[in-house]
Amino acid sequence: MESRYKEIKKRLKGELLKPIMANKKLSHEDSLIIVSEPRGGSTWLLELLATVPKSATIFEPFHSNYGLYHKIDDYKWGSYFDPNYVDEKSIKDWKDALSGRIVNPYVVSRSSIRDYMSSERMVVKLIMGTSFLPWMTQQLEFKHAPIYLMRHPLAVAKSNIENLYKRGKEIYVDHKWIPSGKNEKLYLKNKDLFEEDSPILHHLIARWCVNNYFALTETPQDKFVKVYYEEMLLNPIEVLTALFDKWNLPIPDGLFEKIQVPSSSDFKKDFRSDKKEQLKKWFKGFSHTELNDLQDILNRFDIKDYSMHEILPLNLKKNDLIPLGE
């Protein structure tokens, strides 16, 4: 009965906010955007950025089941828009979604009605946004460069298995996933990694590579702010200070107090208070040979940001971070 009541309340809230948000005429240019892979830390960052005054959140407007355009194949996870592809309808869809002009109960589920009514900008989380990053930054203008939040592909894959795909002892992954555009060519070139007899971990790491490849290679560096989850976890104050300096925005009151609060996406409540242990937990139990096999997947896609033999991103100045030890 309680869950039914919550669902009705959620739907009523969404319906109430539809005309309110449509009439606010906010601009996508003012929005603070986070693109990331699932289980990449984007919910935690969204909750931190929601401390920005006069902001409200837009939660996964392109979600494949609950988003604003979930019935449109162009926006399915893994879709790739060529950066030079110009389509007025697509541009309008994205502007409406990122500005909060069009909403549904799902996307407005993370902020209060009061926040939406007083909002002057949106904080938007897009776990299905990495494939669209080259196109989005080419076709849309932003006053504040979108955040490209990256997390180690092994940690992402393991966290997805534990939190999303595992049902008891069974693990269920959709092997019918086929991306579009140039992502499809990457997929077909490495199709053996996606076959049903391929290890699930290999499949998920390869999916990470497909979704991130063109975001890394075709998005101009000055069009986004790259944030590594690992660095944000270890040095949150420094990373967030640099982010707000980059955006030329004041650091909001209460931001640093929220750093120690685990994300609402910590479904199993197993976030480790020891940050080094939090990073290490996904890397335990692998032999050197197994890690070499996983590294071969990164090599296929020429991924340079991470190694399967290193927990931290390769291009961080590790002497500036808390040493992980052995």
CATH code of the domain covering residue 173: 3.40.50
Tokens of 44: 């935690």
Bridge partners (DSSP) of residue 225 are 147
pLDDT (average), residues 289-301: 96
SS3 (DSSP) at 57? strand
Is 164 within the bounds of a domain?
yes
Query: Is residue 290 within 8 Å of residue 203, measured between CB atoms?
Result: no
Model confidence at 324, pLDDT cuts 50, 70, 90, reads very low
Is 325 within the bounds of a domain?
no
What domain range includes position 295?
A: 2-320
CA distance 164 to 233: 22
pTM of the model: 0.91
CA distance 272 to 320: 22
pLDDT (average), residues 3-18: 89
Q: What is the pLDDT of residue 326?
A: 40
Average pLDDT, the chain: 89
Domain count, the chain: 1
CA distance 231 to 154: 16
Model confidence at 321, pLDDT cuts 50, 70, 90, reads very low
Task: Report the first-to-last Cα separation within the chain, whole angstroms.
Answer: 50
Q: What is the pLDDT of residue 322?
A: 46
Instruction: Give the relative orientation of helices 288-300 and 200-218 as an angle to the nearest 10 degrees.
Output: 40
Q: What is the pLDDT of residue 78?
A: 73
Q: Which of 34-38, 262-266, 278-282, 299-303 has the lowest mean pLDDT?
A: 262-266
Q: Is 280 exposed, middle or buried (0-12, 13-18, 19+ CB in 10 A)?
A: middle
The helix (H) or strand (E) run that includes residue 8 is: helix 2-24
Is 103 within the bounds of a domain?
yes
Is 281 within the bounds of a domain?
yes
Is 35 within the bounds of a domain?
yes
Q: Which of 32-41, 62-71, 167-176, 177-186 has the lowest mean pLDDT?
A: 167-176
Write the DSSP symbol of residue 252.
P
Is 176 within the bounds of a domain?
yes
The helix (H) or strand (E) run that includes residue 32 is: strand 32-35
The residues near 91 (Cβ < 8 Å, ≥ 6 apart) are 139, 140
CA 195 to chain CA centroid, Å, is: 25
Is 326 within the bounds of a domain?
no
The helix (H) or strand (E) run that includes residue 150 is: strand 147-150
CA distance 132 to 34: 12
Closest CA to 216 of 292, 158, 134, 275: 134
pLDDT over threshold 70, residue 267: no
